[in-house]
Structure 1
Amino acid sequence: MLSVSRSASQPELTALFASVQQHFEDVIVPLWQGPGWNADMALPYEALDAEHQPLPPQRYRAMACARQLYLFSSLIGQVPAAEERAAALFRSLQQHFHDAEHGGWFYSIDAQGAPLDQRKDLYTHAFILFACAHYWDKVREPLVESVLNAALQVIAQRFATDDGLYEACLERDWSSLHSGPLQNPLMHLAEAFLATLSVREDAGAEDALLKLCTAMQEQFVDPQTRVLLEKPLGAVDNWFEPGHQFEWYFLLESSPLLRGSQLHESLDRAFALTERLGVDEHSGAVLAMLDLQDGGRAKDSTQRIWAQAEYLRALTLRPHSEAPVLRQLQALQQRFLHVGGWFECRDEAGEVSRKDMPSTTPYHLATCYRGLVEYLR
């Protein structure tokens, strides 16, 4: 899929990654070219069961369409028909989800294609921006850049607040739902701004990204531990997620613009604590949710493949990382990948607790493997 070169000092890691990467190309990607693709709707099904049959569709989400647009954009030139699939996904994003009356994109449509949840959420818009940036980088079509620009504009004009943050969710007509800011959509917005800056110069996106990271440091980072919480400081029932800590760390550490910022310094300082509290030392499993007020006790011990992938990707940017990267790649392969695809979740005891395969997960694997390619290069 992607060419990898590495000195002979790490033959075991190189061979293991080649095997995992081949599994991605030969098993996972074809799931979404074949049984996971609804040709009538030109959309991916939300999930496949363990036998590769689509789960009965209840809805289709714009975010899932955008994640698959990123997936197939990243495979253009490497996987047959990737460019055609990316083009179909881009058209479907506009056809099914764009709100011609109010602007922006609906959250979801129903199984017949009618608007379902018509609210406008930041998480969805961040992924549309992220996917369009990557797709435009591959095809350089003016229409794609116009959608990228429209996403940037609606995010700035509709979601932005005066303090550098953004509302998590608004009504269809952009009226307030008083949702306030939430960590996860803001992280993916930072990711989308970084994707935009990776494909073109954009002073507006750069300024917004820097203000966002400053506001995250001020309003989401616990001043004692430096961990980044899921809700703003002072919110009731707050918690933190190791997977998101690792995801933020990768974004900050990998960006020359953000490396050295206060937010980067916080996530760097909190990395060891996050590992100690949030990663099982025996299995390498990443726990889902921790309660900072209770000394880091687990609120949810579910082990999810996406968090495993984000921890592995983050480790590629840590010092003295050869042994930990190898150990975590082995954990990912042995605990989550299988001959027919992947296991989405394991429970606290390590038993498989979710056997369906969501269309959104290959995005995490693709970004993780891209980080490994850079590491091995």
Structure 2
Amino acid sequence: MLQEVQQEFRRIFQYWETHDVDPRGGFYGRVDAQNRPDPAADKSIVLNARILWSFSNAYRVTKNPAYRTLADRAFAYIQQYFMDAKHGGVYWSVQADGTPRVTTKQLYGQGFALYGLSEYYRATKQVEALTAAQQLFRTLVERAYDPKNGGFIEAFHQDWSNTDEYILSKGELRKSMNTHLHLIEPFTNLYRIWPDASVQKHVRSMLEHDFMQHIIDPTTYHMRLFFTEDWQVRSSEVSYGHDIEASWLLYETAEVLNDKALLAKTKELSLKMATVTLEGLNPDGALTYEYNPETGHRNEDRSWWVLSEQLVGYYNAYQLSGKQHFLEKARKSWEFIKTYLLDTKNGEWYEKTDAAHHPSLKADKINAWKCPYHNSRACYEIMHRIQPK
């Protein structure tokens, strides 16, 4: 598996180098299934920040100068077009020419901007990136942290006044699992490069308070998805992909915090979370996308990002437990990816297949949500875990 994953890691970046560089600056906001760019497509912070993280991570690992060049390009574009110099934070999206499009401050997008900036500094030691990451962190804590109930509010207007214009939720649903998962991820990465007491405080609070006390159900070990401001649960759906993703990301957070008692507690939790996802694992080795226990509805799509996360999550569970069946499930995840998700003709991965393994032949290869982050990170994690340095 190692050699195949190493090869795929290179293949992913070769695709993005070839097909997504916008000669006008930055990267195209959309490329279709036939690798045709849409020069008029809006550009999202999620896509651009994930590109920044991915190429920064690739450069840090390989020292390939081509990856550094594209990480530099992503950083420069975000700095010039996404940063809100007046109010702080980043825009959700800009038009193809860089003019702001959606200026609301979605915490999900802020988190990925922080993830990209912190990884770029980790890879390059560019002081401007560290300064930008520190400033963004302080803005999020000042503007979006809920000091009464803990956690972070989902979104704000451009000037950080209250809004109900959420991307991931709406109305009374002021907090979400997804946003908090993708905040603890960059906060943890920031703590790696800047071990500041305030960062440590918020990372620990998100792990011990937000996730362990509110987001993770203490009876099922699935994560709850949506909440009111005071953490009242307003959802019943199960997201198997997010469960398995969180199982390894939260353990990574505990590792970075380097607290033995917390690490032991998180290890136990991580294994329970990985174990409960097995109820959604199909005989073909792929996790069901989502399940609603109230209605019985199951979304049986086999998603590229879910397969990426289960590859890492089951391998992590194998490392933590020594149980061979987790290793076999990681290997079977990779076999599914190879067999059904890799587009050997046009490159990159299909977005998904259905339960009968028919791939999404018409779905974009690149858009606001189809980015190099999940699959390149999965390859990196497996490489790093099999051959740690």
Superposition TM-score, scaled by structure 2 size:
0.85
Which deviates further from its counterpart, 154-163 or 199-208? Answer: 199-208
- 2:273 maps to what in 1? 270
Let me know the Cα RMSD of the aligned residues.
2.0
- Describe the shift of the 1:264–1:168 C-alpha distance in structure 2 as closer, same or farther (beyond 3 A): farther
- 2:239 maps to what in 1? 241
Q: What is the one-letter code of the residue matched to 1:223? A: P
Counterpart-to-counterpart distance in 1, 2:267 and 2:160: 32
Q: What is the one-letter code of the residue matched to 1:311? A: Q
Map 1:120-199; keep pairs closer than 5 Å: 120-162=105-147, 163-178=149-164, 180-199=174-193
The answer to whether the Cα contact below 8 Å between 1:227 and 1:267 also exists between their aligned partners in 2 is: no
- 1:368 maps to what in 2? 378
Counterpart-to-counterpart distance in 1, 2:39 and 2:286: 31
- 2:334 maps to what in 1? 329
The partner residue of 1:200 within 194, 201, 205 is: 194
Counterpart-to-counterpart distance in 2, 1:28 and 1:226: 33
- 2:169 maps to what in 1? none
- 2:168 maps to what in 1? none
Counterpart-to-counterpart distance in 1, 2:307 and 2:81: 32
Counterpart-to-counterpart distance in 1, 2:264 and 2:55: 33
Deviations 1:268-294 (A, max 9, x none): 323222211x221x2112222111435
- 2:23 maps to what in 1? 39
- 1:71 maps to what in 2? 54
> Runs of 5+ in structure 1 lacking a partner?
1-12
Counterpart-to-counterpart distance in 2, 1:244 and 1:259: 20
Shift of 1:173: 0.9
The answer to whether the Cα contact below 8 Å between 2:9 and 2:380 also exists between their aligned partners in 1 is: no
Shift of 1:56: 5.3
The answer to whether the Cα contact below 8 Å between 1:253 and 1:317 also exists between their aligned partners in 2 is: no
Which deviates further from its counterpart, 46-55 or 362-371? Answer: 46-55
Shift of 1:243: 0.8
Which deviates further from its counterpart, 158-167 or 225-234? Answer: 225-234
Matched, 1:301 2:284: no
Counterpart-to-counterpart distance in 1, 2:55 and 2:158: 29
The answer to whether the Cα contact below 8 Å between 2:237 and 2:291 also exists between their aligned partners in 1 is: yes
Q: What is the one-letter code of the residue matched to 1:168? A: E
Between the two structures, name the one with larger relative contact order (CA 8 Å, sep ≥ 6): 2
Q: What is the one-letter code of the residue matched to 1:101? A: K
The partner residue of 1:260 within 264, 288, 293 is: 264
Shift of 1:266: 4.1
The partner residue of 1:279 within 278, 281, 290 is: 281
- 1:7 maps to what in 2? none
Shift of 1:121: 0.8
Deviations 1:77-128 (A, max 9, x none): 4434211211111111011111122111110012232211110011111111
Q: What is the one-letter code of the residue matched to 1:167? A: I
The answer to whether the Cα contact below 8 Å between 1:306 and 1:361 also exists between their aligned partners in 2 is: no
Counterpart-to-counterpart distance in 2, 1:335 and 1:115: 38
Shift of 1:221: 2.4
Shift of 1:265: 4.1
Identity fraction in percent: 22
Counterpart-to-counterpart distance in 1, 2:298 and 2:26: 35
The partner residue of 2:77 within 74, 92, 108 is: 92
The partner residue of 1:358 within 340, 363, 366 is: 366
Counterpart-to-counterpart distance in 1, 2:194 and 2:134: 12
